[in-house]
Amino acid sequence: MTPDEVAQYLRAHPEIFERHPQLLETISVPHPYGGRTISLAERQIVSLREKVRALEAKLAELIRIGEDNDAISEKVHRLALALAGAPDFEAAAAALVFHLREDFAVPHVALRFWGAGEGSRTSGAPVAPALREQVATMGAPVCGPAAGSPFLSLFGEAADRLRSIAVVPLGQTRAVGVLALASEDPQRFYADMGTLYLRRIGELAAGALAARS
């Protein structure tokens, strides 16, 4: 019989080990981490230990992710309170930039707000129409390498030092501004990172600024 046929037979007839329990102790197999041989029962214990270690590692990872999310949620909450308590447009814009730099440790923050109409308040230097159109078509935050990004122009002289960037459109049904975050660290904002909290921050910022513009 071939090894595959033996394996198929044992799967089809598990009762063989009930009829011949001594097989579990007398059949020896190679130890996965050494040159010696061990019984089938010992090999099963080794396999179970490996599964336990894998589950423990996965649980530790889930706990770490949960703790990280809790910490970010707390920071977003503090930002929301600061925006809600801002008495005017300038205070809301300043609170947004301050919390992103100090609480979220984002080294470079660029905020541009052009509002929904001619009478709206603005923040920062004027944004070129082409860049506004690009913001209007984004639909969601975008992260990735800074090289080649048209939004680098928002950072002025610091643009040459930046290696990663996150661009957050402000406004849900219509773009009223853009929030750009950047870093010298190429891994700070990477293409596959989650953008849930960036989107929430963008929604909070758009709401607070639009209400005071």
pLDDT digits (tens, 9 = 90+) for 133-183: 999 999 899 999 999 999 999 999 999 999 999 999 999 888 999 999 999
What's the CA gap between 52 and 46, in Å, rounded?
A: 10
Q: Could you tell me how many residues make up the chain?
A: 213
Reported confidence tier of residue 9, pLDDT bands at 50, 70, 90? confident
CATH class of 85-211: alpha beta
- For residue 35, give every residue at least 6 positions away whose Cβ sits within 8 Å of its Cβ, in sequence order, or none: none
- Give 60-105 pLDDT, tens digit per residue: 988 988 888 899 999 999 999 999 999 999 999 999 999 999 999 9
Give the pTM. 0.72
- Give 189-204 pLDDT, tens digit per residue: 999 999 999 999 999 9
Residue boundaries of the structural domains of the chain: 85-211
Residue 203: the pLDDT is 95
The owner of tokens 């990663």 is 164
What's the CA gap between 166 and 183, in Å, rounded?
A: 9
Residue 5: the pLDDT is 75
